[in-house]
C-alpha cells in the first residue's frame, strides 16, 4: 500500500496550479444523465472519486470520451471529458458502486426526472459522522415521487413525471440541494428550494444547467427558483477552481513558510478562511495569476475557528487549519459544527508532538515550538492532508500511510508540493 514520506523544514517557493473542484465536478458529471446530448466538461480533476463516478455513470449508459491536451498546457492541467447519456440502460445504482462514494447517491435526482424511476443504494463515503439522506427523500417526495426503502435501496417512482413544488430543507444541505436542483429542471411547473445551500459548487452546477437549457434563478442565495422545461441539451462548461485545494495549499505555505502563487485560484470563494490566515500571520495578495501566499520570518499566531455553512469557514478545511495551529504561538480553539465525528486526525497530530485536547465539538490547541516527524495514519480525506501539512514543518521524517484517502480529493499532491521545494515523495509497497 502506498505511503507518502516527508522530510520537514523546507519552505515552499514557486507556483501550484489549482485543479478543478472535486465537489463541483461530481454533480456536473451526474448532470449528464439529464440529457441525451453530449455534455463537455473542462478542467475535470484526475481523482479516485472522479474515476469511480465515471464507472458508476457507465453502468447507467453514459459514454465517456477524453480529449487530448492542448499545446502548451501544464502537465497538471485538468482533463476535458465528453459525457453522453444517449440512452439510460439501467436505473439501478447498486450497492457495490454507491457504497464506495457518497456523492454517487445524487444520481437519484436525474434518473427520476428523466426516466420516472430510480433504484439507488443507500450511500457510503468517509466515516466522519452521519449524513442522512432524509432531506433528499422528503424533497423528492414533495416533487411527487413515491419512495420506499427496500433492503438497503431507495426505490423511487414518478411515472407521470415530477411536479414542481416548494421544498424547504431543514438545514442547508449541499447534497440535497444538488439533487433537488437537478431533479427540478425537468419537473412540470415551478420549484422553489428554500434554505438551500449557497456553496460556489451549487452555483457552478446551476450555471451549467442553464447552459443546458434549464431556467434557474437565485442560485448562490438561500432560495432557488427553477421553472421546469421539457428537455435539456448538450453544453460545454469549465469546472470552477477547487477552493478546498486552494485553502489547503495556502495553509501549507503558512505552515512551512515561503512564497507560493496558487495559479487560477479565486479569493471570492474563501473570504473567511483567508481572513483567518491573515490573522495567523500569512500575507495574501490577489494577482492576475491567482493568489500569492507568503510567510517569511514571522511566527504563526494562534487564531480561533468555527466551521459553518458557506460563506463561513468550511468544515473541509478544519483539519488543515488545526495542523497549522499546532505551531501557533499561544492557545487556539477549533470548533466543528457540521459533522459530529471529524476530529479523528487529532490523535495522529499528537503523534507528531501536537498538544490538543477535546471537549465535545471543540478542540483546544496549545501551540508548540516544533513538531517532530513520526509514522502517522490517514483516517479520512481532509485528515490525510492535515498530516502532510504538519509533516512539512516537522523535524525529521514523517510517513503518512493509508493515502488512498488523499487520492480521493487531491490531484498529484506530491508533484505539486515537490516542485515548490518540499521534500516529499510517494513510496509504493
Task: Examine residue 311 and say whether the peptide bond preceding it is cis (omega within 30 degrees of 0).
Answer: yes
Does the annotation place 3 within a ligand binding site?
Answer: no
Hey, which residues does 154 pair with through a beta bridge? 120, 149
* Residue 293 marked in a binding site: no
Q: How many angstroms separate the first and last alpha carbons of the chain?
A: 5
Are 402 and 384 in contact, with CB atoms under 8 Å apart?
yes
**Rounded to 10 degrees, what is the CA torsion of 212, 215, 217, 223?**
-100
Q: Is 305 exposed, middle or buried (0-12, 13-18, 19+ CB in 10 A)?
A: buried
Our answer to whether residue 326 is catalytic in this structure is no
CA 217 to chain CA mean position, Å: 24
Catalytic one among 126, 208, 326, 420?
126
Is 22 annotated to bind ligand? yes
Beta strands in 202-303 (DSSP E): 215-217, 223-227, 235-238, 258-263, 283-286, 290-295, 300-301
| C-alpha cell read off for 82 | 465528453
List strand residue ranges (DSSP E) for 108-202, in order.
Answer: 117-121, 146-150, 153-157, 166-168, 190-194
The answer to whether the annotation marks 296 as part of a ligand binding site is no
Q: Residue 210 and residue 227: Cα distance in Å, rounded?
A: 11
- Please state the φ and ψ torsions of residue 233, each to the nearest 5 degrees: -125, 175
Residue for cell digits 515548490?
420
Cα–Cα distances in angstroms (integers) from residue 350 to residues 73, 323, 336, 356, 375, in the given order = 41, 10, 18, 7, 11
Q: Is 338 annotated as a binding residue?
A: yes
Nearest to residue 112, comparing CAs of 48, 72, 66, 163? 163
Residue 121 — φ and ψ, nearest 5°?
Answer: -65, 145
Grid cell locating 217: 434563478
Biggest CA–CA distance in the chain, Å, is 66
The C-alpha atoms of residue 15 and residue 287 are separated, in whole angstroms, by 12
Binding residue positions for UDP-N-acetyl-alpha-D-glucosamine = 102, 316, 338
Would you name the residues annotated as active-site residues? 126
Annotated binding site: 22-23, 102, 316, 338
Amino acid at each position: 500500500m502506498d505511503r507518502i514520506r516527508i522530510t520537514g523544514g523546507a519552505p515552499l517557493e514557486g507556483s501550484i496550479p489549482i485543479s478543478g473542484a472535486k465537489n463541483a465536478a461530481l454533480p456536473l458529471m451526474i448532470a449528464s444523465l439529464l440529457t441525451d446530448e453530449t455534455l463537455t466538461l473542462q478542467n475535470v480533476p484526475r481523482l479516485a472519486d472522479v474515476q469511480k463516478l465515471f464507472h458508476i455513470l457507465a453502468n447507467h449508459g453514459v459514454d465517456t470520451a477524453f480529449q487530448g491536451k492542448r499545446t502548451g498546457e501544464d502537465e497538471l492541467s485538468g482533463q476535458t471529458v465528453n459525457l453522453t447519456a444517449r440512452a439510460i440502460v439501467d436505473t439501478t445504482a447498486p450497492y457495490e458502486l454507491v457504497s464506495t462514494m457518497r456523492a454517487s447517491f445524487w444520481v437519484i435526482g436525474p434518473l427520476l426526472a428523466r426516466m420516472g424511476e430510480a433504484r439507488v443504494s443507500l450511500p457510503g463515503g468517509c466515516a466522519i459522522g452521519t449524513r442522512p439522506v432524509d432531506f433528499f427523500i422528503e424533497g423528492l417526495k414533495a416533487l411527487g415521487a413515491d419512495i420506499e426503502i427496500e433492503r438497503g435501496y431507495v426505490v423511487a417512482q414518478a411515472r407521470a413525471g415530477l411536479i414542481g413544488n416548494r421544498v424547504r430543507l431543514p438545514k442547508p444541505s449541499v447534497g440535497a440541494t444538488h439533487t433537488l436542483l437537478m431533479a427540478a429542471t425537468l419537473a412540470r411547473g415551478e420549484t422553489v428550494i428554500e434554505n438551500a445551500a449557497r456553496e460556489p459548487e451549487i452555483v457552478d452546477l446551476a450555471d451549467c444547467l442553464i447552459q443546458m437549457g434549464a431556467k434557474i434563478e437565485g442560485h448562490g442565495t438561500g432560495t432557488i427558483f427553477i421553472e421546469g422545461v421539457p428537455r435539456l441539451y448538450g453544453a460545454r462548461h469549465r469546472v470552477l477552481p477547487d477552493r478546498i485545494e486552494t485553502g489547503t495549499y495556502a495553509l501549507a505555505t503558512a505552515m512551512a513558510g515561503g512564497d507560493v502563487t496558487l495559479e487560477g485560484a479565486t479569493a471570492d470563494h474563501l473570504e473567511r478562511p483567508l481572513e483567518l490566515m491573515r490573522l495567523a500571520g500569512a500575507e495574501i495578495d490577489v494577482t492576475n495569476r491567482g493568489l500569492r501566499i507568503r510567510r517569511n520570518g514571522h511566527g504563526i499566531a494562534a487564531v480561533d475557528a468555527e466551521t459553518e455553512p458557506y460563506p463561513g469557514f468550511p468544515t473541509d478545511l478544519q483539519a488543515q487549519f488545526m495542523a497549522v495551529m499546532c505551531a501557533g504561538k499561544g492557545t487556539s480553539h477549533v470548533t466543528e459544527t457540521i459533522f459530529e465525528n471529524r476530529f479523528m486526525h487529532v490523535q495522529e497530530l499528537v503523534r507528531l508532538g501536537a498538544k490538543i485536547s477535546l471537549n465535545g465539538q471543540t478542540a483546544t490547541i496549545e501551540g508548540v515550538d516544533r513538531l517532530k516527524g513520526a509514522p502517522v495514519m490517514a483516517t479520512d480525506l481532509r485528515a490525510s492532508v492535515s498530516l502532510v501539512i504538519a509533516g512539512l514543518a516537522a523535524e525529521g521524517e514523517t510517513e503518512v500511510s493509508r493515502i488512498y484517502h488523499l487520492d480521493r480529493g487531491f490531484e498529484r499532491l506530491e508533484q505539486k508540493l515537490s516542485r515548490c521545494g518540499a521534500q516529499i515523495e510517494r513510496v509504493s509497497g
